[in-house]
A = this chain, B = another copy of it.
Amino acid sequence: MKRREIRSDIAWATPSQISIHGLDLCKEIVGKIDLGQMAFLQVFGRLPAENENRMFNAMMVILIEHGITPSSLATRMTYCGAPEAVQAAVAAGLLGLGSVFVGSLDNAARMLQEALPDQNASVDLDALAVKIVTDFRARREIIPGIGHPFHKPIDPRTPALFQVAEETGFRGPYTSLMEKIGAEATRQAGRPLPVNVTGAMAAVASQFGLPWRICRGLAVAGRAIGLVGHIIEEMRQPMAEELYYRIEHEATAHARPAE
């Protein structure tokens, strides 16, 4: 009962050959291209130019490791119960990369891309920034990509990423618009709301032409690498069992009878 053909253009294999996005795995990939280029190939279906490669890698390395977070704790808790299923521990840590932490990346990219669907269009970016900020504030919604509760007064990752954008030709309408949104929000709110790392990454991803719906995917893939680092540390220097013990003890102290 076929209704449509099933088709994938990513990869194929014969007994003697494996092709990924048109490249021969054994002759053109292994030993020839590196992990960053391979990730670019998976996302864009082609190899990066040199400047694209440097920019893409700069973005990806920021996504790998965020220290002790709810995500790395979920991985460690899972590893503690199922050390034989490392894949499950990584997956558990990825599952919380949702609206609260990583979602702001999609939201910022969406804001930029919906406001400026064509980056080559001739648009007054100052006026656009005023409109975006005014609209978000009118709807009492948080503007994604600006301000940071901890990295104050500025998020140090933003200038680092924008510096690479400068050097690789990735400054453009989206990075400008993002900065103008930060400046206008600062003006309207009367307190510093500079572009944070999420806003900077969303702007660069938009310059790359990445649809906002896939931005979270990059964050998820990057974090998978970081979570493996947490598993390695948890193997050698575990914290999950101690945490569980302490938390259970404190959380039930009010109810538990002395025995």
Contacts and interface: CB of A to CB of B under 8 A. Distances in A.
A203 B205 CA distance: 38
A86 interface: yes
Contacts of A235: 211, 213-214
Contacts of A34: 34-36, 53, 57, 61
A123 interface: no
B98 A94 contact: no
Contacts of A12: 67, 252, 255-256
Interface stretch (A2-10, A130-138, A175-183): A2-10
A89 to B, nearest CB: 7
Contacts of A30: 58, 61-62, 157, 160-161, 164
Interface in A1-58: 1-20, 25-27, 29-31, 33-36, 38-39, 42-43, 53-54, 57-58
A82 B67 contact: no
A53 B7 CA distance: 35
A220 B90 contact: yes
A231 B251 contact: no
A188 interface: no
Nearest to A80: B70
B91 A64 contact: no
Interface string A78-111: 1111111111111110111111111100000000
A68 B214 contact: no
A105 B244 CA distance: 21
A95 to B, nearest CB: 4
A176 to B, nearest CB: 20
Contact of A244 (B10, B58, B69, B214): B69
Interface of A: 1-20, 25-27, 29-31, 33-36, 38-39, 42-43, 53-54, 57-58, 60-62, 64-71, 73-74, 77-92, 94-103, 150-152, 156-157, 159-161, 163-164, 167, 211, 213-214, 216-218, 220-222, 224-233, 235, 237, 239-252, 254-257, 259
